[in-house]
């Protein structure tokens, strides 16, 4: 006799294989995200542009989510989750392949276009995979199921970071130039890291003016290095496309109600009237903004506040991702004992305290604080996602699109932080790269408020 009070399985047998297939997609956006983050610093040196301009890499990358999220949800609702996966994989591969002509023409804006196309594919995949996983079993275990699937995301992130560190940053000719400048000027060791970094950047600019042919050759070699991993991932994604094309997946979307204009209008009205969902979209936008700023500018922080090379600073990003991965499994276990909103509030409070350390302590200790923030961010995305989507029923696919569209926060906030770094410090003698982390601090305050309201007001 079955115990009627027993908790439903997180993944039932009938969905085990489909769940494993869809969970295998989660590393794809982790890889794309974390191989792209170092390009902000790399493109700044390769194209000799400002921090604000190089941050347009993140703007283009996350703009795809804002463009594609709602159309993706409509497409999935009209057809199927499988169709959404296939179209997402196709756009992902096309965007990655576009790195080839972009590198050949040495055109920064072409790279931005390629990244935007790639992330239109990612938006389709995320808009599909997250609600699909939620639908694969009992509603009571949906948040745990999504957290489990999301735990595979950092595997892709770590792979992306390793590739970026070992096959991009460490192979760049511009990094060899910077190392040679340091060796030629031992007096730089006695300067503040931010001052020494500025002098090396100035020398690079002079090299481009005085020896344009040599600089163009160096630029061409570096762009060829950058494109390699993207061509490789395009091949992997193409194979996955063929695998899903010839596989059978359960259709868990109800097609009883055709997606007419009236249905769309009613759905959006219900979602906008749902305070837990509405505030969740806002919290998600601030979370993604904080995540991308912390992972993008760790290289700037390591180089200007500690004096590391780009490849050395990227190693700390890998440690951060390892902490996030470990913390995600720990926090998923804790969800069996702590309510999601309460856990979110505690994690955000930790993010606030560590951000203060990044800003005011600086140096190697500040870098440790920046790395430790990833442990606090571990469960924020899926937890906000699960809280906001709770009890949305048939509206889940469109509700999911709103939460995926909130990822556009990663497009808006990094350029703001880049502009803060270019403008100089806002807190006396504290380096600008440190004071710029006031933006992630504000993001964690917003997330803490949502966690409090979810736990005490919305009762999620």
Cβ–Cβ under 8 Å, residues 293 and 287: no
Question: Residue 2: its pLDDT value, please?
Answer: 44
Question: How many residues can be counted in the chain?
Answer: 460
Q: Give the pLDDT of residue 233.
A: 93
pLDDT of residue 76: 84
pLDDT at 258: 60
Q: Can you give the pLDDT at residue 460?
A: 44
Better-predicted residue by pLDDT, 3 or 216: 216
Decide: 455 and 341 in contact? Cβ < 8 Å: yes
Most confident of 43-52, 93-102, 185-194: 93-102
Residue 338's pLDDT band (cuts 50, 70, 90):
confident
pLDDT score recorded for residue 260: 65
Three-class SS state of 254: coil
pLDDT of residue 456: 80
Q: What is the structure's pLDDT at 345? A: 94
Structure tokens at 436: 């710029």
Q: Which of 21-30, 240-249, 321-330 has the lowest mean pLDDT?
A: 321-330
Q: What is the rounded distance in angstroms from the CA atom of residue 20 to the CA atom of residue 418?
A: 39
Let me know: does 434 contact 305? Beta carbons within 8 Å: yes
Q: What is the reported pLDDT for 137?
A: 77
Of the given ranges (34-48, 80-94, 387-401), which has the lowest mean pLDDT? 387-401
Most confident of 93-97, 145-149, 243-247, 421-425: 93-97
- Tell me: the pLDDT tens digits for 223-264? 999 999 999 999 999 999 999 999 888 877 765 566 667 777
Tell me, what's the pLDDT at 110?
A: 95
Average pLDDT of the segment spanning 365-380 = 94
Chain centroid offset of residue 267 CA: 28
User: CA-based angle 228:229:231, to the nearest 5?
Assistant: 70
Mean pLDDT lowest among 106-120, 121-135, 440-454: 121-135
Query: Which tops the pLDDT comparison, 143 or 294?
Result: 294
pLDDT at 375 over 70: yes
| pLDDT at residue number 6 | 65
pLDDT at 454: 86
Burial class (CB in 10 A: 0-12, 13-18, 19+), 259: middle
Give pLDDT, residue 1.
41
CA distances (Å), origin 351, targets 344, 416, 437, 448, 453 = 11, 20, 11, 9, 18
Does pLDDT of 3 surpass 80? no
> What percent of the chain shows pLDDT beyond 90?
38
């Amino acid at each position: 006799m079955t115990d009627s009070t027993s908790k439903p399985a997180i993944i039932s047998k009938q969905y085990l294989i489909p769940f494993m297939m869809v969970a295998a997609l989660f590393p794809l956006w982790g890889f794309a995200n974390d191989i792209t983050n170092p390009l902000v610093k790399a493109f700044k040196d390769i194209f000799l542009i400002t921090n604000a301009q190089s941050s347009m890499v993140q703007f283009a990358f996350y703009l795809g989510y804002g463009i594609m999220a709602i159309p993706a949800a409509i497409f999935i609702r009209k057809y199927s989750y499988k169709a959404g996966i296939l179209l997402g994989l196709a756009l992902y591969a096309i965007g990655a392949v576009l790195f080839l002509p972009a590198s050949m023409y040495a055109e920064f804006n072409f790279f931005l276009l390629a990244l935007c196309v790639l992330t239109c594919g990612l938006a389709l995949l995320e808009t599909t995979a997250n609600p699909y996983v939620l639908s694969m079993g009992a509603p009571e275990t949906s948040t745990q199921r999504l957290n489990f699937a999301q735990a595979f995301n950092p595997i892709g992130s770590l792979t992306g970071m390793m590739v970026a560190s070992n096959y991009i940053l460490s192979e760049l000719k511009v990094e060899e130039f910077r190392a040679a400048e340091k060796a030629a000027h031992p007096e730089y060791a006695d300067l503040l890291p931010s001052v020494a970094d500025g002098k090396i950047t100035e020398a690079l600019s002079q090299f481009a003016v005085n020896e344009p042919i040599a600089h163009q050759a160096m630029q061409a070699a570096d762009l060829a290095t950058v494109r390699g991993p993207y061509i490789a991932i395009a091949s992997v994604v193409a194979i996955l496309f063929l695998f899903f094309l010839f596989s059978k997946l359960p259709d868990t979307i109800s097609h009883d109600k055709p997606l007419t204009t009236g249905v769309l209008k009613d759905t959006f009205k219900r979602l906008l009237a749902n305070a837990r969902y509405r505030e969740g979209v806002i919290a998600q936008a601030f979370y993604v903004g904080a995540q991308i700023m912390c992972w993008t500018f760790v290289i700037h922080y390591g180089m200007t506040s500690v004096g590391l090379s780009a490849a050395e600073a990227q190693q700390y990003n890998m440690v951060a991702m390892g902490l996030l991965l470990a913390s995600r499994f720990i926090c998923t276990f804790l969800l069996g004992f702590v309510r999601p909103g309460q856990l979110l509030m505690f994690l955000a409070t930790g993010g606030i305290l560590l951000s203060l350390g990044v800003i005011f302590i600086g140096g190697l200790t500040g870098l440790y604080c920046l790395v430790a923030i990833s442990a606090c961010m571990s469960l924020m995305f899926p937890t906000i996602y699960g809280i906001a989507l709770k009890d949305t029923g048939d509206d889940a696919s469109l509700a999911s699109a709103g939460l995926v569209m909130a990822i556009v926060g990663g497009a808006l906030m990094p350029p703001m932080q880049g502009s803060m770094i270019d403008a100089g410090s806002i807190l006396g003698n504290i380096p600008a790269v440190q004071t710029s982390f006031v933006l992630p601090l504000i993001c964690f305050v917003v997330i803490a408020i949502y966690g409090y309201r979810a736990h005490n007001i919305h009762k999620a």
